Chain A
């Protein structure tokens, strides 16, 4: 049985307890993966063991990448953010209630079918891009997509963060023994502002029904650069280039944001049709926040 890497343990230890992870462990605790460095082009390189809390609070990172900081600061709880790591939250496994229950086999546990498909519920995906109907759980991935960040894999060429994810059949595409060591962010955009929001029932500490992140740079009265990504809607983290294109070159306004946020999606399940206007609202909200 192949070994599994253990970073902060916030996802893995729960899967150990439920029997979803049973093989040997390789602890990354002692590996030197916690540094945050400037790159030659002025960007940043953050080690895979940097904590989510650090992403949310490190002065240099929060100034340079406000969308990442807002996203990291809004997920889970303070205790989880202090333990969970950058690498871990990108490669965490699905929160699907069937996957998390010891009573089922599914496509992600070596089974042949998806028990959730017959009973998707209101938390399922809107876009049926893959065989799995549970949304991808990583919020931080959304922010990194919006920043077009790179992922460094041990003994391999770097790849785009987007390429860590596939068609929804797997939670990530790294194979056995492949180790994500760092995330490399491009140079920060001068004057960038950001927004992040999740739709939840309670005030905090809840997996989102849907979430959106935006980074926005405005110059000479028009949107110069925009990055928008949404979660809770597909089995992969989703960047929205169409929304970004609708923004760039236009004078920012609530009307523009509402227009740009229109998704034109068709819901995969009647139970999640509500998520389309919900996501559109979130996009408009985070754009307004980023203005």
Chain B
């Protein structure tokens, strides 16, 4: 076929099944076009065919014959839409950005040819509705496209809101999926097709074994990996492996797995090998069948239970008991788990999509002991907790490379990604609470079963030790093990399901006592930062004008509030190196930017000392001085003060000389210690728990169509108490993204596993529904910046606390609107309709 590709003539002879995306990325080497869902849902692969945006992952390459094709690279870099994306911060991880930009460029150009006035939010959302952004940067995308259409960027360069934005809007930013090395092979993983079986097989060469022992315990479990010259050949080789299964009794559904007569997933010593979804070591527990029970975390636990029993007996007005459930939530980073490993005699280089460069480096060094390990992740297309450790992609790539002597790339398909790269465990929570209008939370008991498949480590109830004062309380966490894929840490592990139960409990008790839910929280909650947020939220017109209960009519509006807190952590070993190179200040540390804006935090900290210097931030290499893992909301409070320390040292070194006269000077900044020490005086794996809890309050307005069962989130106010904000624009963006993910959790996202076969049925982006751009509410983010003076820089991380209470606030708003208390998450239309009919 012949076509015009980004303005130049091209010839190519595609195979019948080749997609346009494959040809563009592989044969033409234009990797700006990303493939994420592979099913035409997410729009990351959008290209212009004769000026019309189309998804290239489903477009047969042969259909490009005679066409003029433009990709993000062909848009140039100065298009008003690109400029607007750069200045308005219309992106986070940037993996979806080329698709959004390409579509928005076509929309913009057509719009301005036909219309004079700028488009409305709804018109922009309608045009971009075929694009998904898992980070949830929709608000800024809408704004950017509107501004571009209004001509705001016709004749001026943008001021980048984040350091790497220009690379992300042009397709220049290279992610691990874009890495191609000379002589590179492709790997594919052989997975179990049964939920529990003894397996035997013969492997073709080249291959490596991934299964430890001869028993598979979930459908989709990696057994081995094979390599071949192309991804398709590797897949075919993997599919050709004949596995003999000797089936063992299996149980997938947690409600069946908890029964005493259920088939047992792990027996005796095998239990120690169960993977953990906890960050760190998880809690100790006692096993009985498939149920692993933690020890109670209690404060006057017996008093709590006695009070609750008595309150139940006398039907106390402030007593509430209910069983809440949450579905598993899949991280769904748009860049899949992917690793390119290059094992050579002098060392191992690992390009991997990770949020834990230092973890990966340490783990690889320990596991394979190569002479040297380098880990590289220049840009990472989202993580949300799923990319903290050495996954099957990395193990397979490294071992296949060692075996073949060639670089090997292993990339998860979307189905693999949604099946076996972890998820937030589902839960069943038994909540009992007794509240009083003025005297505080009299007692609370929460018993939570986590449903993380074969993994242990769900920790939800125990988080209650941090909330609502010091009243009597009794918490217990359990894992119900089943033959399903293992869970993993997910943005604020345990937080959202905890809030789903407890924050609805508080709301319900307020309702029963006739109290204002925010005032009641202020009475119960001793945390000064959150108390400040309750007061501000309570004065919002959004809250003050909330509807009274008992509405009638088809469309009902409701307003709900929920609160969250989260521990403050930092990596006190963080170092930032500043070097003067070519007259510029180059900052380096061994961390990665998964879309949170870490580069920008570092740039801003250095800029405070050197407002006029050109500052370059080089991240994504584990060879740099030690930097933090992007987990536990620790990055900002680690690198910000370390960068500031380095800048101060550099300024001292310069002694007033201009930067240009200090060529080659290099200083190392260190993360200063907190004033007054930490909550825990030692670091575990570089993680230090500091003093104080970050806080958040969300006030959410919904509109419910009570006949079609649809809940639309209209407005959200997010109050975030994390002290000084290091990079305001990227922080606001992340908080808005936290709201979007919380809305997804509350309303749409649901991991579905077939109860008989253990196959994950929600393994594509049609069945696993992420929030879309048209679901974006009006959002206001309020930063409460007091209270963190003991922390260098005066502020802490917000990546987790900003999402935890969102789903519960949606549920409370639905209750306010309809009188239906949504116990089961997500609040699907069928559940809402059936619940309201009861």
Q: Please list the residues of chain A having a beta carbon within 8 angstroms of any beta carbon in chain B.
A: 6, 9-10, 13-14, 16-17, 24-25, 27, 29, 76-80, 82-83, 95, 97-98, 100-104, 115, 118-119, 121-122, 199-207, 209, 271-272, 274-275, 277-278, 281-282
Nearest chain B CB to A281's CB is how many angstroms away? 4
Contact assessment for A95 and B766 in the assembled complex, using a CB-CB cutoff below 8 Å: yes
Contact assessment for B772 and A203 in the assembled complex, using a CB-CB cutoff below 8 Å: yes
**B662 on the interface (CB 8 Å rule)?**
no
**B17 on the interface (CB 8 Å rule)?**
yes
B residues near A95, Cβ cutoff 8 Å: 766
Most chain B CB within a 10 A radius of its CB, from A16, A118, A202: A202
5 A-B pairs with CB atoms under 8 Å apart are A14-B58, A76-B40, A101-B763, A118-B756, A122-B828
B462-503 contact mask (Cβ, 8 Å, vs A): 1 or 0: 000000000000000000000000000000000000000000
B767 nearest CB neighbor, chain A only: A97
A residues near B126, Cβ cutoff 8 Å: 78, 204
Bound complex: CA A17 to CA B194 (Å): 22
Contact A281-B708, Cβ < 8 Å, known A13-B19, A202-B748, A203-B774 = yes
Bound complex: CA A274 to CA B837 (Å): 10
Q: Please list the residues of chain B having a beta carbon within 8 angstroms of any beta carbon in chain A.
A: 16-17, 19, 38-41, 43, 46, 52-55, 57-60, 62-63, 65, 103, 125-127, 129-130, 193, 219, 415, 707-710, 712, 747-748, 752, 754-757, 759, 761-764, 766-767, 769, 771-772, 774-775, 828-830, 833-834
Selected contact of A79 from candidates B40, B762, B767, B833, CB within 8 Å = B40
A residues near B833, Cβ cutoff 8 Å: 274, 277-278
Nearest chain B CB to A233's CB is how many angstroms away? 13
B residues near A10, Cβ cutoff 8 Å: 40, 55, 58
A22 nearest CB neighbor, chain B only: B17
Given contacts A78-B129, A80-B130, A281-B707, 5 further A-B contacts (CB under 8 A): A13-B19, A83-B58, A103-B193, A202-B771, A275-B830
B residues near A275, Cβ cutoff 8 Å: 830
Bound complex: CA A89 to CA B231 (Å): 30
B residues near A274, Cβ cutoff 8 Å: 709, 829-830, 833-834
Bound complex: CA A201 to CA B769 (Å): 9
Nearest chain B CB to A74's CB is how many angstroms away? 11
Contact A13-B129, Cβ < 8 Å, known A25-B16, A119-B756 = no
Contact assessment for A278 and B63 in the assembled complex, using a CB-CB cutoff below 8 Å: no
A residues near B58, Cβ cutoff 8 Å: 9-10, 13-14, 80, 83
B residues near A206, Cβ cutoff 8 Å: 766, 769
Selected contact of B62 from candidates A29, A76, A78, A98, CB within 8 Å = A29
Selected contact of A205 from candidates B38, B39, B54, B130, CB within 8 Å = B130
B residues near A115, Cβ cutoff 8 Å: 754, 757
Contact assessment for B43 and A203 in the assembled complex, using a CB-CB cutoff below 8 Å: no
Contact A202-B757, Cβ < 8 Å, known A103-B193, A274-B830 = no
Selected contact of B757 from candidates A27, A29, A103, A281, CB within 8 Å = A103
A278 nearest CB neighbor, chain B only: B708
B residues near A272, Cβ cutoff 8 Å: 830
Nearest chain A CB to B701's CB is how many angstroms away? 16
Bound complex: CA A275 to CA B834 (Å): 10
Bound complex: CA A163 to CA B283 (Å): 62
Selected contact of B710 from candidates A9, A14, A119, A201, CB within 8 Å = A201
Bound complex: CA A103 to CA B764 (Å): 14
Selected contact of B712 from candidates A27, A80, A119, A203, CB within 8 Å = A203
A residues near B754, Cβ cutoff 8 Å: 98, 115, 119
Contact assessment for B830 and A271 in the assembled complex, using a CB-CB cutoff below 8 Å: yes
Bound complex: CA A204 to CA B710 (Å): 12
Give me the 10 closest cross-chain CB pairs, A-B, nearest first: A77-B130, A203-B774, A281-B707, A122-B830, A13-B58, A274-B830, A103-B759, A97-B761, A79-B130, A79-B55
Bound complex: CA A209 to CA B769 (Å): 13
A residues near B125, Cβ cutoff 8 Å: 203
A residues near B748, Cβ cutoff 8 Å: 201-202
Contact A98-B129, Cβ < 8 Å, known A14-B39, A209-B829, A277-B707 = no
Contact A205-B129, Cβ < 8 Å, known A79-B40, A103-B193 = yes
A residues near B763, Cβ cutoff 8 Å: 101
A200 nearest CB neighbor, chain B only: B710
Contact A29-B53, Cβ < 8 Å, known A78-B129, A79-B46 = no
Selected contact of A119 from candidates B62, B755, B830, CB within 8 Å = B755
Contact A205-B707, Cβ < 8 Å, known A82-B53, A97-B767, A119-B756 = no
Nearest chain A CB to B752's CB is how many angstroms away? 7
Nearest chain A CB to B121's CB is how many angstroms away? 12
Contact assessment for A77 and B129 in the assembled complex, using a CB-CB cutoff below 8 Å: yes
Bound complex: CA A118 to CA B761 (Å): 14
Nearest chain A CB to B831's CB is how many angstroms away? 8
A103 nearest CB neighbor, chain B only: B759
Bound complex: CA A121 to CA B125 (Å): 30
Bound complex: CA A78 to CA B102 (Å): 13
Nearest chain B CB to A70's CB is how many angstroms away? 14
Most chain A CB within a 10 A radius of its CB, from B38, B55, B415, B757: B55
A residues near B707, Cβ cutoff 8 Å: 277-278, 281
Nearest chain A CB to B643's CB is how many angstroms away? 40
A residues near B43, Cβ cutoff 8 Å: 77, 79
Nearest chain A CB to B606's CB is how many angstroms away? 41
Bound complex: CA A6 to CA B829 (Å): 35
Bound complex: CA A272 to CA B60 (Å): 37
Selected contact of A78 from candidates B38, B53, B709, B747, CB within 8 Å = B53
Bound complex: CA A202 to CA B705 (Å): 12
Nearest chain B CB to A199's CB is how many angstroms away? 5
Nearest chain B CB to A192's CB is how many angstroms away? 25
Contact A6-B709, Cβ < 8 Å, known A78-B129, A79-B53 = no
A residues near B52, Cβ cutoff 8 Å: 82
Contact assessment for B127 and A78 in the assembled complex, using a CB-CB cutoff below 8 Å: yes
B residues near A79, Cβ cutoff 8 Å: 40, 43, 46, 53-55, 103, 130
Contact assessment for B766 and A204 in the assembled complex, using a CB-CB cutoff below 8 Å: no
A residues near B767, Cβ cutoff 8 Å: 97
Contact A104-B759, Cβ < 8 Å, known A199-B829, A201-B747, A205-B772 = yes
Contact assessment for B759 and A27 in the assembled complex, using a CB-CB cutoff below 8 Å: no
Bound complex: CA A83 to CA B40 (Å): 10
Most chain B CB within a 10 A radius of its CB, from A98, A207, A275, A281: A281
B residues near A277, Cβ cutoff 8 Å: 707, 833
B residues near A201, Cβ cutoff 8 Å: 710, 747-748, 769, 828-829
Nearest chain B CB to A67's CB is how many angstroms away? 20
Selected contact of B759 from candidates A101, A271, A278, CB within 8 Å = A101
Contact assessment for B219 and A83 in the assembled complex, using a CB-CB cutoff below 8 Å: no
Bound complex: CA A29 to CA B127 (Å): 26
A residues near B59, Cβ cutoff 8 Å: 9, 13, 83
Bound complex: CA A204 to CA B707 (Å): 18
Bound complex: CA A201 to CA B713 (Å): 11
Bound complex: CA A118 to CA B772 (Å): 31
Bound complex: CA A101 to CA B219 (Å): 13
B834 nearest CB neighbor, chain A only: A274
Bound complex: CA A12 to CA B125 (Å): 28
Most chain B CB within a 10 A radius of its CB, from A16, A100, A102, A103: A103
B residues near A100, Cβ cutoff 8 Å: 764
A210 nearest CB neighbor, chain B only: B708
Contact A17-B761, Cβ < 8 Å, known A9-B60, A203-B774, A278-B708 = no
B46 nearest CB neighbor, chain A only: A79
Nearest chain A CB to B749's CB is how many angstroms away? 10
Bound complex: CA A175 to CA B65 (Å): 29
Bound complex: CA A202 to CA B775 (Å): 6
Nearest chain B CB to A171's CB is how many angstroms away? 17
Bound complex: CA A203 to CA B46 (Å): 21
Contact assessment for B772 and A202 in the assembled complex, using a CB-CB cutoff below 8 Å: yes
Bound complex: CA A205 to CA B17 (Å): 26
Contact assessment for A204 and B769 in the assembled complex, using a CB-CB cutoff below 8 Å: no
Contact assessment for A9 and B63 in the assembled complex, using a CB-CB cutoff below 8 Å: yes
Contact assessment for B54 and A82 in the assembled complex, using a CB-CB cutoff below 8 Å: yes
Bound complex: CA A204 to CA B757 (Å): 32
